Amino acid sequence: MNLSHRIILWPTRVELSAPAGTPLCDLLFEQGVEFPCGGQGRCRGCRIRVLNGKAEVNRAQQERLSPEEIASGWRLACQCVVEGDLEIELRQWDAAILVDDTVFAFRPRQGLGVAVDLGTTTLVAQLLELATGRVLAVSTALNAQARYGADVMSRLHFAVLEGGQHQLETLIRQQIGALIEQLLFSAGKHGAGIADIVVVGNTVMHHFFCGIDAEPLSRYPFEPTEGGLQIFRSSALGWKHAGDPLVRFLPCLGGFVGSDVLAGILATKLTEHEDLVGLIDLGTNGEIVIGNKHGLLCASTAAGPAFEGAKISMGMRASTGAISQVTVSPLLGPLLTKEGSKGWCSRDRVHCHVIGDGAPRGLCGSGLVDAVAAGLELGVVAPSGRFSKGENSWMLAPPVALTQNDIRELQLAKAAIAAGIKLLMQRKGEKELARLYLAGAFGNYIDRASAQRIGLIDFPPERVEAAGNTALLGAKLALFSLDSEDGSYAGVRRRVEHVALNADPSFQDVFVGELAFPQARPTN
Ligand code: FES
């Protein structure tokens, strides 16, 4: 039996539980911790200090941490797994968010601030001391609206029913109000005044929270009724926080591109680059931003739910039992069997990593991308997307198999994203990106080489960077520059132009052209 262990996070005192073998990054990502190099063990950005318990030091940590640091308990969270009960101090939460002297420089303010990332599936809120930038508490929850549909479209269908939207509005306002109370309580600041609250989210969440008619978002041309900045007194939302602080829901960028993407632009500083750079959030709706300091284009494209493991025969979220990585041993040289390594199971040359080190139960989004890339590499899957020998499925790790239909779903998702990137690049008159940031949980876990192998992201892996929870980071940054112009969300918003891909006559042709997989692994 796989027992759960207790993990206590300092300074917030959040308590989590997880079985042995769970990667710490799985746990901490959900708590709003960022992994700047995507968990590759290269940047030291995810440093933690072990106060109690054990966390083994692997080679990547020996290379990145000094012997003194290791001796005093410092570790790289992305390289550690749960081995037993653990108490850790989160370095990120102890430091000012902003330490450079760019336009985003940290400008201390008095009082407390709250940043909220209102996602379709999850909510993350952080309480900050605005004078130091310290995170005093963090709260996460599943979005209470989820019982009325897992994705934005099913939520919109509920909203258009009699009284539906009002119900969703009430639910989310109450939940976020309670989450903020919980933040104050766990930081020992119950009853203390809050200076400002910033909320970011996609366009549908924006309309639901702000009480704006969301019906136009459910039908062509899918345009928001009113996507601008919305400001409320917290008492108007039914919240009773001391000082009656202002609550700002940051403005959407257009169509289905919400303020979570605006926050992502702030977090990745896209408007400061001279070279062309990009930001993608891969989800049911893929959001894409391409540009530089001279201007940005943004768009959304309906990718379908494949990246979230939905509509996949054995699809599931990235949780215990999900195959999250699939690798192939090279044909020549030693067979790199991972059999016996924690969390890995192997069949011939194919190795699958199972989250939580238990029996495989299904396939999550990153596992799906890897599995198809592995199938292409082994010649099991043809570039057309068909199984080469006409099979209906390919067994990865019993009972989990990849089916023909799963590959089709992935083709639709990847073609939508690839076509969106291509069209925005065409508008910019460029073929290359200097850097591409991947936002969100999926972007954190997807293997960049596999993403390139299936033609989802046609750029060399070293130019692609996982950027973590950019929505939350951007919301935090916004708290420090609410009234300024340069570098603030308002200044950035003005530099972004929304492109309605569904109105572009060439979209369908480009989309169809992107359905097939590349013939061979790119040489870069
Ligand atoms: S070293 Fe862990 S995220 Fe970069």
| CA 465 to centroid of ligand 1, rounded, Å | 11
Nearest C-alpha neighbor of 252 from the set 196, 298, 301, 302: 298
In a mutational test of the pocket of ligand 1, which residue from 78, 80, 92 has the highest number of ligand atoms less than 8 Å from its CB?
78
| CA 34 to centroid of ligand 1, rounded, Å | 9
Whether the CB of 45 sits within 6 Å of ligand 1: yes
User: Which atom belonging to ligand 1 lies closest to the Cα atom of 44?
Assistant: 1
Q: What does the angle CA 312 – CA 315 – CA 319 come to, to the nearest 5 degrees?
A: 160
Whether the CB of 516 sits within 6 Å of ligand 1: no
Mean pLDDT of the chain: 87
pLDDT digits (tens, 9 = 90+) for 241-261: 999 999 999 999 998 999 999
Peptide bond into 398 cis (omega under 30): no
| CA 353 to centroid of ligand 1, rounded, Å | 20
Whether the CB of 91 sits within 6 Å of ligand 1: no
User: Which atom belonging to ligand 1 lies closest to the Cα atom of 77?
Assistant: 2
Beta carbons of 478 and 198 less than 8 angstroms apart: yes
pLDDT digits (tens, 9 = 90+) for 179-215: 999 999 988 998 899 999 999 999 999 999 999 999 9
Largest CA distance in the chain: 68
Whether the CB of 37 sits within 6 Å of ligand 1: yes
Nearest C-alpha neighbor of 288 from the set 465, 425, 447, 442: 425
pLDDT digits (tens, 9 = 90+) for 291-333: 999 999 999 998 877 887 778 999 987 777 889 999 998 765 4
Tell me the residue type at 257.
Answer: V
Nearest C-alpha neighbor of 209 from the set 218, 217, 201: 201
Nearest residue (CA) to ligand 1, atom 1: 41
Beta carbons of 276 and 321 less than 8 angstroms apart: no
CA gyration radius, the chain: 23
The rounded distance, in Å, linking the Cα atoms of 310 and 361 is 14
Q: How many CB atoms lie within 10 A of CB 369?
A: 28
Per-residue model confidence (pLDDT) at position 475: 93
